[in-house]
Amino acid sequence: MIVKWEPFARDVVGGQLARAADSVGANVAEAYGRFHYGEKLQFLYYARGSLFETKYWLNRALTRGLMSADQVQHYALQLTEVARQLNAFAGSIKKQRRGRPAQAKVREATGGYVADARLFSEVELEWLQAV
C-alpha cells in the first residue's frame, strides 16, 4: 500500500498550527475575563506557551515545504511582537498586584526571527532559561 504523506502532513501541521494560534487569543480573552491577578497571569502564561507552540508549527510547516520562508518569517515576526505585548501586559498586571502604577515600557530586545529549522533564537533560549 502506497501512502501519500503530503496531504496528511498538510492536514496535521495545518490543523495543529490553527489550534495553537487560536489558543493564543482564547487564553488572552480568558485572562481578560478573570478577576484575580493570579488567574489573569496564569492565562497569559498559557497564551505565551501557545504562542511558542505556534512558532514550532510554523517551523514544521517550513521544514516540510508547506509554507515558504517568507511566509514563516512574516508570521513569526508578528508572533514575536505579540509575545512582547503579552509580556508587557503580564508586567503591568504584576505591578498592579503590587500596588504600583504600570509603566508602558517594554524592555525586551528587538531581535528578529530567522525562519529556519531552529525552533527558537539564541535570545529566546536565554530568556526561556531565565524564566
The predicted pLDDT at position 1 comes to: 42
Displacement of CA 8 from its chain's centroid (Å): 24
Give 118's pLDDT tier (boundaries 50, 70, 90).
low
Confidence tier at 14 by pLDDT (50, 70, 90):
confident
For residues 54 and 99, what is the distance between their CA atoms, to the nearest angstrom?
34
| pLDDT for 23 beyond 80 | yes
**Residues with Cβ within 8 Å of residue 105, at least 6 apart in sequence:** 88
Asked if pLDDT for residue 124 goes beyond 60, the answer is yes
Q: Is it the case that residue 3 has pLDDT exceeding 50?
A: no
- The reported pLDDT for the residue numbered 48 is 94
pLDDT tens readout for residues 32-58: 888 888 999 999 999 999 999 999 999
Distance separating alpha carbons of residues 105 and 91, to the nearest angstrom: 10
pLDDT tens-digit series, residues 63-76: 888 889 999 999 99
Say which residues have a Cβ less than 8 Å from residue 77's Cβ, sequence separation at least 6: 112, 113
CATH numbers and ranges of domains, the chain: 17-130 (1.20.1440)
pLDDT surpassing 80 at residue 83: yes
Q: Please check the confidence at residue 123 and state whether its pLDDT lies above 90.
A: no
Any idea which of 25-29, 62-66, 81-85, 111-115 has the lowest mean pLDDT? Answer: 111-115
